[in-house]
Chains A and B, each alone.
Chain A
Amino acid sequence: MTSTYEKIATNTLGSATNTLSFTSITGSYTDLVLICNTQRTANAGNPIRFRYNSDSGSNYSQTNMYGGGTTANSDRLSNTSYHEIYGLPLSAAFSTQILNIQNYSNATTFKTTLLRGNNAAQQVIQSVGLWRNTNAITAIEIYVAADNMSAGSTFTLYGIKAE
């Protein structure tokens, strides 16, 4: 059987960490899926952020819709230097983030990402992100702006082949 859904790399934090990266991402897949199961050490509810190819320029935007248990909301982030998902819980609880990055290896179009965040103590959020860059994505940086992601947080990058 041809395998169309393959693990590229995985990382389980052995200690509290601020930043981690997946680098040298091969261009041999069609789409990428990033699964994060996370907790942070302080500042409950603050976001986790993502950058592609180490680009820290103001080249990212995203449109969000989210619900915190009382109202449904939508807002935007324009000209940011990252994609982000609110919010990560503290001790005991964990959260789940799922990124779908379609057609990541083409060198013609800007890159669109579907971002999903699940924190049952805070909110559910679904976003669409745009990285205004035509380069193939070869690296993903994952970080929190302050404090750290907790030991035991996991990050797995999968590749999907359209064959």
Chain B
Amino acid sequence: MANTYTLISSVTVGSGGAANISFTSIPATYTDLLVKLSPRFSAASVNKALLMKFNSDASTSNYKNKNLRGSGSSATSGSDEGYAGGYIAELNADSTTSNTFSNVEIYIPNYLSSNYKSFSVDSVMENNATTAYATLAANLWNSTSAITSIIFSEHTSSNFVQYSTAYLYGISSS
């Protein structure tokens, strides 16, 4: 039986941090993509926003979002749009509990199709303090192009800290 769940590539951020985490030349041999991240940002804040660009598309009008967020004190919903990339979630930065990294899972079905790309996001940032977030999000990339690259960055250009990780898997239905 064919293995349907295959690691395509992984990134572990080295000393000094990194401004971006990138997956390029994504092969067109799978049906769906799955990204699992364990990131943390270097910034004097509790939380910072993770963005994701497909094929380097930084158009502020091409990414749509509906999210559901719990903060530990309330549940809210928003549409985080107008960024130069798809809004993923608020994640750990310097002012959260040390050694604490966020968890993010992004499922992208039919990444090769000529339809607009709908994708699903689950994320958590835990913090042994009053501000922490768990977020579910529905996202859409308004493009008919096949996805060939993914770039992650922070909205205000903060760096990923050392030991942040990202894994890209391909899932095949063939």
Contacts and interface: CB of A to CB of B under 8 A. Distances in A.
A3 B110 CA distance: 22
Nearest to A69: B79
Nearest to A38: B118
Contacts of B159: none
Interface string A115-127: 0111111111010
Given A72-B75, A156-B173, A120 B31 contact: no
A24 interface: no
A102 to B, nearest CB: 17
A80 B110 CA distance: 31
Given A158-B4, A158-B171, 18 more contacts: A3-B4, A3-B5, A5-B4, A6-B1, A6-B4, A7-B2, A65-B75, A67-B78, A68-B77, A69-B79, A72-B70, A92-B116, A93-B118, A95-B118, A118-B137, A122-B66, A152-B115, A156-B173
Q: Which 3 A-B residue pairings sit nearest by Cβ, starting from the closest?
A: A67-B77, A118-B138, A67-B68
B19 interface: no
Contacts of A69: 66-67, 77-79
A interface SS class? strand
A98 B120 contact: yes
Contacts of B5: 3-5
Contacts of A126: 68, 136
Nearest to A37: B109
Contacts of A119: 66, 118, 138
B interface SS class? strand
Interface in A26-62: 35, 37, 39
22 contacts: A1-B3, A3-B1, A4-B5, A5-B4, A6-B4, A37-B115, A67-B77, A69-B78, A70-B77, A70-B78, A72-B69, A92-B116, A94-B118, A116-B120, A118-B119, A119-B118, A119-B138, A120-B118, A121-B66, A123-B77, A124-B136, A152-B113
Contacts of B172: 7
Contacts of B115: 37, 39, 92, 94, 152
B138 to A, nearest CB: 3
A108 interface: no
Contacts of A7: 2, 4, 172-174
A22 interface: no
A20 to B, nearest CB: 15
Contacts of A123: 66, 77, 138
